Structures are given as C-alpha cells and as structure tokens.
C-alpha cells in the first residue's frame, strides 16, 4: 500500500534546475570576488603607494607583497573568484550531463517498450491461435484419445481460458501492469509496418509501410468507426442544476469523492466552485467526471467512449467545450453578484480536476492557450495524460494505481519535470479492489482513498507537501466558509 512519488520537487530535472540555480549564485559570487580583486590590485598603482617606493622602500615593498598575497591561492580574491566560476562551470556541465543521460535512458526505455510490445502482441496472437487450433483438434478427437494426449494442467488451463478469455486477459494485466505499456507502445509499429507487409503478401496490391504515431493510430480507429456511425461527437448543452450534490470539496479525498458522484446516466455533470481568497478575489475548482457511457454508439452523455478516443487523438470534444461553458456560466453569475467585470474573474487562478476521462479533459484544457482561463493546477486520478503538452507554469498532480491499466493507455510514463508530481500506489489487497480485476483498481472510490493517503504522507514528505501546497491553500479557504458551488448538467446534441 506504499506510495511512490516521482517527478516534481523530488525529480531529477528539479535537481538539475537546482544545480543551475546554484551555478548562477556561484557566478555572482565569483563576479563579486573578481571585482574586489581588481580594487585591491589597483592599490599597487595608487599614487601614494608609488611615492612610498621612493620615500620608504620597505613599507612600499610590504604593501606590494600584501596586494599580491590578496590575489594568490589559497585565499586570494582572484583565486577565490576562479574557484567560484570553475564550480559554476562544473555544475552546469553536470546538469547538462544529467539531462542528456536522462533523455537517453528515456529513449532507450521507449524503444524497449516498443520492442517488448511487438513481442507481446506476437506472443498473444500465437497463443490465441494455438489455443483455438488445439481446442478444435481436441474436440475432433475421440474423448479417450484427447484425454490421453492432454496433460491435466494444460487441460485445466484451456478450460479456464475458454470459460472466460476476457477475465484471463484482465487478470494478466492486473498481475503484470507493464504489459499494457508494452502493447500500447508496440501497436503503432505493428499496425503501420507489419499489417501493410502482410496485406502486400496476401493480396495482389502493394501496401507501403506507414510510420504511425500514437495519435495517428487512435485517429485511425475513430475514422474507421465513423464509417459505421460510431464514436460521434456533438454540440454541448449545459444547464444549471439548482441543487448541487454536496458541499464544496475541502480536501484531496473529498475532491475525488465529489467527482465520483457526478453524472446521472443520460447526462454528464460538471461542478465549479468559487473559493474566496480572503482578499476580495477568488480561486476556482472545476471537477470533471470520468467515462460514464462505454457504448461505441454515442448517445446524449458526452462522457463517453468516443470522447476518450478523440481526446487521446488530440481532437477537440464536446466535453471540453461543455466544461468551458460551465466555468463561463459560473463566473458570469459571480460577476453579476459582485458587480465586477467578467474578465477580472477569468484572470483568477483555476484548478482543473478529474478522474479517468475527466483528468484527460483537464489536461487538454490546461494545454490549450485559447481557453481564456488562468489555469494554475491540474489534478488527475487514473488518467493517461503523459503525452499532453501542459505548460511548465501549471502544477500537475497525477495519482495512479499500479494495477490500473487506464493511466498506462498512452504508452509512456509521466514527465519527471519539476512542476509535475506523480504519486503511484500499489492497491493489490486494498479495500474495494478485487484481486485480478484491473477495473476495480480504476474505481473512483479507491482513488479517493488513495488521495487521503497522499494528504497524510505529505505531512512527512517535503516534496509531496510542496506539490500539494496550492491545493491545500484552496482547501483551507473552502473551510473558511462562503465557497459557492455551481453544478451543471451536460448533454450533447449530435450534428
């Protein structure tokens, strides 16, 4: 049940920034020491000192000797300036080396995941084909002969797989989480290179290999589904709910708890909380739910499978537009209450938080410079957002479970940059998690429990406390009273 913290203030890149910052300080000190050295050296050519060489050669010589000593090692100013500047050069070089090694290891890891993914995919196809052929052969043989040819353990395994192949696959993903990363990393190469080669062999036409990115692969799935009327997006319809569900979230666990209660079947929901900052202004917390409709045929609820695919392909979605409209309506109402310009509220800090798909929406909006919002924080639980280009000035907290394959669906680990903290929890045996069920490891209630553990560990982990600092300030202001909660029903109308 331990938590693992990566990136953020504890990450390598944060330490690299610290090294460069220290190098800048050393440079400044070197410059100051060198300036003093020049001033001391100027004493030797001062008119009074030069005159003393004639009038009192001994005194003049002593002055020149002390000036020279003030420049020479081990404590001379010129020497100290050189030491400061040499240390600064060394730190900058070390920082660059750390970055290059880290980038090389990341490229090697990506390559390893891709190669492993191709191997896993081939092994899976061969295994599936072997099971199917073996089952057909055993069914065709007389029962006595089939029993004689089949080992008991193998027969039992075949029976188990045959009863519920999906459960067997999901159990494998639960026990071996790395398989998800590898499969996702290997799919673009397999679909872009191997499939065209196979088609070229099996048909009279030539299909050249096409290097595919992850986004292009997902876009291809959307395009193919579109031909069948699947994965359609729509236009958002956002309606205020006069009775918001519960009070404003005043802790990280409460935040995920309220997110988990959003949505009512035919429609999704979005919550926007206006938090007074004690100085006449506000900060804002926007809560976005996860996927609620898994059918490939899109209905009225935009928190659906099609939105997942569109987000992962980098396309705009009705759900993103709906969140922006909900925030606009909430800010407009507060602006009318207080008699202040709407633009003033839009410039106030916004935290975007979501579970699963909601986290992808939050990250996508934070990465979009055209939203008109001042997004300062993103909080996600079980969301694959590693490939989202979130600006460096936005603090990101990603909570993930080892046994949850969903945050791995982008095939890459989260960046280890200073502003992005990832907290990972092993939930095997945790309350609410069924052994062998990665779906249960993705549950919103389990993520709320993990959020409570994150807050508790922050009391003893300075790096984690720093990652939560902005959130905790907002939660403290919520506990201070007068936070306003706005809740909106969100539907989509198909074009």
**Per-residue pLDDT tens over the stretch 228-243:** 999 999 999 999 998 8
Same domain, 155 and 95: no
**Domain total in the chain:** 3
Q: Evaluate whether 288 touches 354 at the Cβ level (below 8 Å).
A: yes
Cβ within 8 Å of residue 109, ≥6 positions away = 413
Asked if residue 6 belongs to a domain, the reply is no
Q: Which residue has the tokens 């100051």?
A: 32
Half-sphere CA count of 435, side-chain side, radius 13 A: 1
Digit-coded pLDDT (tens) for 99-150? 555 555 555 555 555 555 455 555 555 555 555 555 555 455 555 545 554 5
pLDDT of residue 429: 93
182-200 core/surface letters (b: 16 or more CB in 10 A; e: else): bbbbbbbbbbbbeeeeeee
Q: Rounded CA gap, 348 and 185, in Å?
A: 39
What's the confidence (pLDDT) of residue 149?
Answer: 47
Q: Which of 60, 91, 108 is the last residue of a domain?
A: 108
Distance CA 158, CA 491 (A): 45
My answer on whether 75 and 143 are in the same domain is no
Please give the model's pTM, rounded to 2 decimal places: 0.76
Question: Are both 183 and 55 inside the same structural domain?
Answer: no
Low-confidence ranges of the chain (pLDDT < 70): 1, 10-19, 37-38, 40-41, 43-61, 63-72, 75-79, 81-82, 90-170
194 and 262 inside one domain:
no
Q: Which residues contact 232 (CB under 8 A, 6 or more apart)?
A: 226, 297, 298, 306, 494
Domain boundary among 108, 138, 159: 108
Q: Are residues 259 and 373 in the same domain?
A: yes
Give percent of the chain with pLDDT exceeding 70.
72
**What's the CA gap between 148 and 162, in Å, rounded?**
20
What does the pLDDT read at residue 48? 64
What per-residue string of b and e applies to 437-451 under the rule 16 or more CB within 10 Å gives b?
bbebbbbbebbbbbb
């Amino acid at each position: 049940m331990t938590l693992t913290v990566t990136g953020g203030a504890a990450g390598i890149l944060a330490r690299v920034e610290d090294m460069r910052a220290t190098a800048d300080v050393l440079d400044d000190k070197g410059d100051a020491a060198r300036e003093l050295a020049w001033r001391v050296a100027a004493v030797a050519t001062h008119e009074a000192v030069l005159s003393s060489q004639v009038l009192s050669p001994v005194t003049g010589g002593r002055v020149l000797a002390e000036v020279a000593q003030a420049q020479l090692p081990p404590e001379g100013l010129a020497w100290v300036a050189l030491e400061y500047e040499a240390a600064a050069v060394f730190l900058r070089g070390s920082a660059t080396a750390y970055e290059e090694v880290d980038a090389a290891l990341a490229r090697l890891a990506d390559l390893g995941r891709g190669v492993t993914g191709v191997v896993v995919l081939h092994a899976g196809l061969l295994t599936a084909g072997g099971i199917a052929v073996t089952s057909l052969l055993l069914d065709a043989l007389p029962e006595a002969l089939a029993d004689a040819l089949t080992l008991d353990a193998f027969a039992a395994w075949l029976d188990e797989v045959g009863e519920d192949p999906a459960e067997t696959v999901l159990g494998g993903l639960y026990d071996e989480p790395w398989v998800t990363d590898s499969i996702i990393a290997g799919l673009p190469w397999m679909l872009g290179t191997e499939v065209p080669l196979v088609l070229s062999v099996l048909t009279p036409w030539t299909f050249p290999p096409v290097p595919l990115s992850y986004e292009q692969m997902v876009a291809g799935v959307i395009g193919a589904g579109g031909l069948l009327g699947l994965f359609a997006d729509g236009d958002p319809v956002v309606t205020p709910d006069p009775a918001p569900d519960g009070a404003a979230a005043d802790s990280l666990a409460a935040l995920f708890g309220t997110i988990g209660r959003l949505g009512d079947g035919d429609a999704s929901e979005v919550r926007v909380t206006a938090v007074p900052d004690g100085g006449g202004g506000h900060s804002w917390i926007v809560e976005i739910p996860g996927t609620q409709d898994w059918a490939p045929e899109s209905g009225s609820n935009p928190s659906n499978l099609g939105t997942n695919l569109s987000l992962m392909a980098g396309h705009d979605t009705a759900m993103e537009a709906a969140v922006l409209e909900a925030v606009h309506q909430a800010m407009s109402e507060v602006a009318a209450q207080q008699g202040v310009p709407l633009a003033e509220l839009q410039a106030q800090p916004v935290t975007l938080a979501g579970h699963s798909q909601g986290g992808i929406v939050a990250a996508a909006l934070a990465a979009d410079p055209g939203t008109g919002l001042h997004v300062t924080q993103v909080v996600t639980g079980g969301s694959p957002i590693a490939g989202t280009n979130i600006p460096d000035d936005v603090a990101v907290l990603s909570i993930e479970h080892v046994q949850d394959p969903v945050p791995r669906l982008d095939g890459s680990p989260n960046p280890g940059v200073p502003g992005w903290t990832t907290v990972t929890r092993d939930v095997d045996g945790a309350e609410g998690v069924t052994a062998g069920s990665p779906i249960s490891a993705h549950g919103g209630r389990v993520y709320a429990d993990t959020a409570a553990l994150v807050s508790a560990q922050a009391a003893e982990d300075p790096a984690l406390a720093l990652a939560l600092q902005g959130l905790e300030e907002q939660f403290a202001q919520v506990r201070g009273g007068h936070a306003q909660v706005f809740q909106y029903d969100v539907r989509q109308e198909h074009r």
